């Protein structure tokens, strides 16, 4: 744009006149030649007044023309300059200005143009900024060294009050703040401000605090300004605290504790500049940071205190050594444990406290410890002040200087004296167990989790006849073909899973497993396998314990063989044998001979119980036999001897009873019994016994006979000989002679009777007497007997009668008449002989198949004990009353023999002093 020269001058003039900056045009002498409006305003002169002045009149920095000239000289060289100076108004006051000065050259005429700006505000702002920085610096100084929160806040509030020229500066904690960080309200009040105390207990403060923290929604780290211009509308506590204006900022520290920094203006309401607000924020930040720092510091201090207490009272003893191994610190526990005072320990070499044996351990290992940086579970024997030693286990690490060089050790240790003692004991007992295992007759093997054999005992070496090195750490049970083949692997795996097991007996052939030149034999093993577990019940090893049962197995095989031989023997044995399991009572086996003798099959008698019942059907006898037998078996077992042989009557299957000699042997729990049939033998034996008894009897009889004969023959013989001699007497009267002859005859008859009886007896015994059977009329016979005996009975004044219901009948019996007659004669004769008074009745009763004869008397009777023997030969009742009565004692025995020859029986019933009744019965059909 081309502006015409004239217009250009007008525009320039207008621009200059209306510029906000003051402009001064002067010549090189300093004389003002033109000024604009702003220059007039700034200096309070009119244009005209100013154009009469020089630069030196208005510029306080260049008060003389010389000074102005000097400045212009510099300007001539630089053409442009900028300076700060003060201008003096017409009223004499000055104000700061910043002047841009330039040299103008108009067609050789030189002028100086000054454009000045009033920088009063600028300077003030600058000053304010300085005070801002200054304030922050002061606060920084306070906070950086602060150790006490309250004091720090107090100091800061003092500065705040000063800087903000406020009536009240304060710091409040939220009412809900943790007790630990609860601070009392801290307030700085200007002397002339209304003295309103702000305290924890003050109600007013409380409501204000409540209002501030609970009702107003503050934004963290943001300034909140309130101006309470309308006093009537403000709450009472605002009024009572005389708050006109307030500036507040919440401070929230790291643990979310809330505080509030505030200032009150009480005299008049006011606003705060942004710079002031900024400063306020900065101050609050510093306070917040410092509180955080101090709170952290307090906590740290507290925990340090705690740590120190802990350190001193820890159950672990602690010490720290320097690079020389000298003690630089110990805790209370250390001192207490070893009985020293701190001053006795600090500075001393650690080695000095150790047992001499351990001193060199320390000396050699301490440099290693320093180099390595840590130690763990190092054992020392350390001396107590009293002289005894303690076992300790030490753990520690080293600390370094920042340059990495060794500074000190930090070590703790535990008293392991008790543990050491227990360990020693354990070692001893372990040693015992090791010995036990080593010496055990059982074969012991230990395997690790991988199946590797890690330990075996002596018995193992003996079993396989190899040194243990052959398999130890080489043989793997989980990979063994033999273990797999024998089926043991299954059990081994179960043991690894935690079970304890008894393995089935197995034959182990190690030839495939044992390498090298060793030849090992196969063995039968009985094995137990069990796991070893750690404290967490985790299996760490398994143990196999074997018993070599090869011999046992071989013995068993031999036994089986001998057993079969035994069976053959039993089978073939010529006598009945039975094999019984005594515990179960099962009859294991019976041989053929047994079957032959008893007729029972094995099916009939599977058990002893069955046998007892069949062989001994009579319960009483059975009971007796069982007891007897069991006693015999028990005795045999106890004495380890054969079962004592005994004879029992055993019933065979066909019902016959056989006499069996039972003997036997016990075979462990079994017994083998031999049953010999001795029935025939027994019969012969019995016969022999009978014969023997008979012979003995005959011997007795012979003696009795001789005794009797001496009496029975000698008496009548004496009579005969005596009276025969007397007959020789010449003067013998006829009467006497007759009497003597009769005596001789009687004696002769008596002797004859005796001799007849003897002959009869011997005839009977030699079986020469044979009944001569004929039809006999019984009633006739009895009648004749009555007739025969009546005179004799009469003589003794005894009533003799025949009572017979069948008397009327004509009754015949086929029998030997003479014998029957003799029987009756004998009995009736005896009755009369042994009866002194009373009655004798005789007769018969007809029974079904027999005739029962009886002879009853009221005589002297027969004592009970001799009633049985009375029928034996030569037996006479030894009785006073019978002594006088003659008799050979043969009558009843002949009678009995006759009765028996006639197939009858004879018996007697008698009571001493009451009487006797002899009965005999004869069969009707003979």
Which residues in this chain contact ligand ADP in the complex, by CB under 6 A? 830-831, 834, 857, 859-860, 862, 870, 875-877, 882, 887-892, 916
CB of 772 to ligand ADP, least distance (A): 23
Nearest in space to 110 (alpha carbons), one of 228, 168, 167, 29: 29
Please give the DSSP secondary-structure letter assigned to residue 618: S
CB of 872 to ligand ADP, least distance (A): 9
CB of 641 to ligand ADP, least distance (A): 54
Nearer to ligand ADP, 135 or 916 (CB): 916
Quickly count: other Cβ atoms within 10 Å of residue 82's Cβ. 10
Q: How many whole angstroms separate alpha carbon 872 and alpha carbon 866?
A: 10
Q: How many whole angstroms separate alpha carbon 298 and alpha carbon 150?
A: 13
Residue pointed to by tokens 């700085």: 188
Quickly count: other Cβ atoms within 10 Å of residue 471's Cβ. 22
SS3 of residue 431 by DSSP: helix
Strand partners, 877: none
Q: How many whole angstroms separate alpha carbon 542 and alpha carbon 538?
A: 11
Nearer to ligand ADP, 159 or 877 (CB): 877
Nearer to ligand ADP, 334 or 834 (CB): 834
Q: How many whole angstroms separate alpha carbon 295 and alpha carbon 290?
A: 8
CB of 702 to ligand ADP, least distance (A): 18
CB of 891 to ligand ADP, least distance (A): 3
Nearer to ligand ADP, 114 or 891 (CB): 891
DSSP-H helix ranges across 215-273? 236-240
Nearer to ligand ADP, 212 or 897 (CB): 897
Strand partners, 408: 399
Strand partners, 529: 501, 544
Nearer to ligand ADP, 22 or 894 (CB): 894
Give the DSSP per-residue string, 380-410: EEEE-TTS-EEEEEEEEEEEE-TTS-EEEEE
CB of 784 to ligand ADP, least distance (A): 20
CB of 917 to ligand ADP, least distance (A): 9
Nearer to ligand ADP, 265 or 754 (CB): 754
Nearer to ligand ADP, 465 or 881 (CB): 881
CB of 828 to ligand ADP, least distance (A): 9
Structure tokens at 440: 């055990």
Residue pointed to by tokens 């090195």: 469
Residues ≥6 apart with Cβ < 8 Å to 741? 723, 727
CB of 795 to ligand ADP, least distance (A): 17
Provide Rg for the chain, Cα atoms: 78
Give the DSSP per-residue string, 807-819: GGS--EEEEEHHH
Q: How many whole angstroms separate alpha carbon 25 and alpha carbon 370?
A: 86
CB of 755 to ligand ADP, least distance (A): 14
CB of 880 to ligand ADP, least distance (A): 11
Nearer to ligand ADP, 675 or 831 (CB): 831
Helix/strand/coil (H/E/C) assignment for every residue in 149-204: HHHHHHHHHHHHHHHCCCCEEEEEECCCCCHHHCCCCEEEECCCCCCCCCCCCCHH
SS3 of residue 800 by DSSP: strand
User: Cβ-closest residue to ligand ADP?
Assistant: 887
CB of 707 to ligand ADP, least distance (A): 14
SS3 of residue 67 by DSSP: helix
Nearer to ligand ADP, 50 or 757 (CB): 757
Nearer to ligand ADP, 469 or 878 (CB): 878
Give the DSSP per-residue string, 498-509: T--EEPPPEEE-
SS3 of residue 576 by DSSP: coil
Nearer to ligand ADP, 542 or 764 (CB): 764
CB of 887 to ligand ADP, least distance (A): 2
Nearest in space to 726 (alpha carbons), one of 742, 712, 713, 749: 742
Give the β-pairing of 258-265 and 317-321. Answer: unpaired
Nearest in space to 804 (alpha carbons), one of 837, 780, 839: 780
Nearer to ligand ADP, 425 or 837 (CB): 837
Q: How many whole angstroms separate alpha carbon 738 and alpha carbon 720?
A: 13
Q: How many whole angstroms separate alpha carbon 127 and alpha carbon 133?
A: 10
Nearer to ligand ADP, 358 or 789 (CB): 789
Q: How many whole angstroms separate alpha carbon 542 and alpha carbon 530?
A: 6
SS3 of residue 115 by DSSP: strand
Strand partners, 840: 800, 857
| 598 neighbors 650 (Cβ within 8 angstroms) | yes
Nearer to ligand ADP, 321 or 832 (CB): 832
CB of 806 to ligand ADP, least distance (A): 24
CB of 889 to ligand ADP, least distance (A): 5
Q: What are phi and psi of 697, to 5 degrees?
A: -60, -45
Nearer to ligand ADP, 228 or 796 (CB): 796
Q: How many whole angstroms separate alpha carbon 245 and alpha carbon 167?
A: 10
CB of 913 to ligand ADP, least distance (A): 11
Please give the DSSP secondary-structure letter assigned to residue 353: G
CB of 834 to ligand ADP, least distance (A): 3
Q: How many whole angstroms separate alpha carbon 833 and alpha carbon 891?
A: 12
Q: How many whole angstroms separate alpha carbon 602 and alpha carbon 583?
A: 19
DSSP-H helix ranges across 51-119? 55-58, 65-78
Nearest in space to 827 (alpha carbons), one of 812, 811, 844, 810: 844
Nearer to ligand ADP, 535 or 880 (CB): 880
Q: How many whole angstroms separate alpha carbon 99 and alpha carbon 24?
A: 10
CB of 841 to ligand ADP, least distance (A): 12
Nearer to ligand ADP, 719 or 891 (CB): 891
């Amino acid at each position: 744009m081309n502006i015409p020269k004239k217009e250009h001058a007008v525009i320039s003039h207008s621009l200059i006149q209306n510029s906000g900056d003051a402009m001064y045009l002067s010549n090189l002498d300093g004389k003002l030649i033109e000024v604009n409006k702003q220059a007039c305003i700034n200096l309070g002169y009119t244009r005209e007044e100013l154009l009469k002045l020089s630069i030196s009149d208005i510029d306080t920095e260049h008060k003389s023309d010389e000074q102005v000239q000097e400045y212009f000289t510099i300007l001539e060289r630089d053409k442009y300059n900028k300076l700060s100076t003060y201008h003096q108004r017409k009223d004499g006051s000055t104000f700061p200005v910043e002047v841009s000065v330039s040299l103008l050259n108009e067609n050789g005429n030189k002028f100086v143009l000054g454009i000045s700006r009033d920088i009063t505000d600028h300077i003030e702002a600058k000053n304010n900024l300085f005070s801002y920085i200054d304030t922050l610096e002061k606060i920084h100084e306070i906070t950086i060294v602060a150790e006490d929160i309250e004091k720090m806040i107090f100091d800061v509030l003092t500065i705040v009050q000063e800087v903000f020229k406020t009536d009240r500066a304060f710091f409040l904690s939220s009412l809900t703040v943790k007790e630990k960080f609860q601070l009392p309200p801290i307030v700085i009040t200007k002397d002339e401000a209304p003295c309103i105390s702000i305290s924890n207990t003050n109600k007013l403060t409380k409501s204000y605090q409540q209002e501030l923290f609970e009702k107003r929604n503050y934004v963290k780290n943001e300034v909140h300004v309130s101006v309470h211009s309308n006093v009537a509308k403000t709450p009472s506590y605002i009024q009572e605290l005389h708050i006109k204006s307030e500036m507040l900022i919440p401070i929230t520290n790291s643990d979310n504790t809330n505080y509030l920094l505030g200032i009150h203006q009480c005299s008049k309401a006011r606003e705060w500049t942004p710079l002031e607000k900024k400063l306020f924020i900065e101050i609050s930040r510093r306070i917040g940071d410092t509180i955080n720092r101090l709170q952290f510091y307090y906590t740290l201090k507290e925990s340090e205190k705690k740590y120190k207490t802990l350190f001193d009272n820890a159950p672990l003893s602690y010490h720290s050594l320097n690079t020389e191994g000298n003690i630089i610190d110990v805790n209370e526990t250390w001192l207490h444990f070893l009985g020293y005072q701190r001053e006795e320990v600090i500075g001393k070499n650690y080695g000095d406290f150790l047992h001499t044996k351990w001193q060199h351990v320390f000396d050699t290992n301490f440099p290693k410890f320093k180099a390595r940086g840590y130690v763990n579970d190092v054992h020392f024997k350390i001396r107590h002040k009293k002289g005894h030693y303690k076992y300790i286990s030490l753990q520690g690490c080293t600390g370094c200087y920042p340059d990495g060089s060794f500074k000190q050790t930090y070590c703790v240790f535990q008293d392991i004296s008790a543990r050491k003692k227990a360990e020693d004991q354990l070692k001893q007992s372990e040693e015992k167990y090791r010995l036990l295992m080593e010496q055990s007759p059982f074969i012991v093997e230990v395997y690790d989790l991988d199946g590797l054999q890690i330990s075996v005992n002596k018995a193992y070496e003996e079993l396989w006849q190899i040194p243990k090195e052959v398999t130890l750490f080489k043989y793997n049970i989980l990979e063994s073909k033999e273990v797999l083949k024998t089926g043991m692997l299954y059990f081994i795996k179960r043991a690894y899973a935690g079970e304890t097991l008894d393995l089935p007996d197995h034959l182990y052939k190690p030839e495939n497993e044992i390498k090298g030149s060793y030849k090992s034999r196969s063995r039968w093993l009985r094995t137990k396998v069990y796991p070893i577990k750690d404290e967490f019940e985790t299996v760490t090893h398994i143990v196999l314990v074997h018993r070599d049962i090869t011999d046992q197995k071989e013995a068993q095989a031999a036994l089986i063989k001998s057993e079969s031989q035994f069976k053959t023997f039993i089978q073939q044995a010529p006598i009945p044998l039975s094999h019984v399991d005594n515990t179960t009572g099962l009859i294991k086996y019976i041989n053929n001979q047994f079957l032959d003798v008893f007729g029972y099959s094995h099916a009939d008698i599977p058990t002893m119980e069955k046998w007892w019942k069949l062989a001994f059907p009579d319960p009483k006898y059975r009971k007796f036999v069982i007891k007897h037998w069991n006693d015999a078996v028990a005795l045999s077992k106890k004495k380890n001897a054969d079962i004592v042989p005994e004879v029992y009557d055993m019933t065979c299957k066909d019902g016959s009873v056989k006499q069996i000699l039972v003997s036997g042997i016990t075979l462990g729990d079994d017994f083998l019994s031999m049953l010999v049939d001795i029935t025939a033998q027994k019969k012969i034996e019995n016969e022999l016994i009978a014969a023997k008894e008979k012979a003995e009897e005959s011997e007795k009889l012979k003696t009795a006979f001789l005794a009797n004969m001496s009496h029975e023959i000698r008496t009548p013989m004496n009579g005969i000989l005596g009276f025969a001699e007397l007959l020789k007497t010449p003067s013998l009267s006829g009467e006497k002679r007759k009497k003597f002859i009769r005596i001789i005859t009687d004696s002769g008859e008596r002797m004859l009777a005796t001799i007849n009886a003897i002959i009869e007896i011997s005839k009977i015994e030699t079986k020469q007497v044979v009944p001569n059977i004929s039809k006999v009329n019984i009633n006739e016979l009895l009648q004749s007997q009555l007739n025969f005996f009546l005179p004799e009975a009469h003589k003794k004044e005894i009533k003799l009668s025949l009572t017979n219901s069948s008397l009327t009948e004509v009754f015949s019996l086929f029998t030997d008449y003479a014998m029957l007659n003799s029987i009756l004669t004998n009995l009736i004769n005896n009755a009369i002989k042994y009866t002194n008074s009373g009655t004798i009745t005789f007769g018969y009763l007809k029974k079904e198949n027999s005739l029962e004869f009886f002879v009853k008397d009221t005589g002297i009777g027969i004592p009970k004990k001799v009633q049985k023997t009375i029928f034996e030969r030569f037996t006479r009742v030894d009785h006073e009353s019978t002594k006088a009565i003659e008799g050979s004692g043969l009558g009843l025995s002949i009678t009995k023999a006759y009765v028996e020859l006639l197939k009858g029986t004879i018996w007697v019933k008698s009571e001493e002093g009451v009487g006797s009744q002899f009965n005999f019965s004869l069969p009707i059909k003979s």
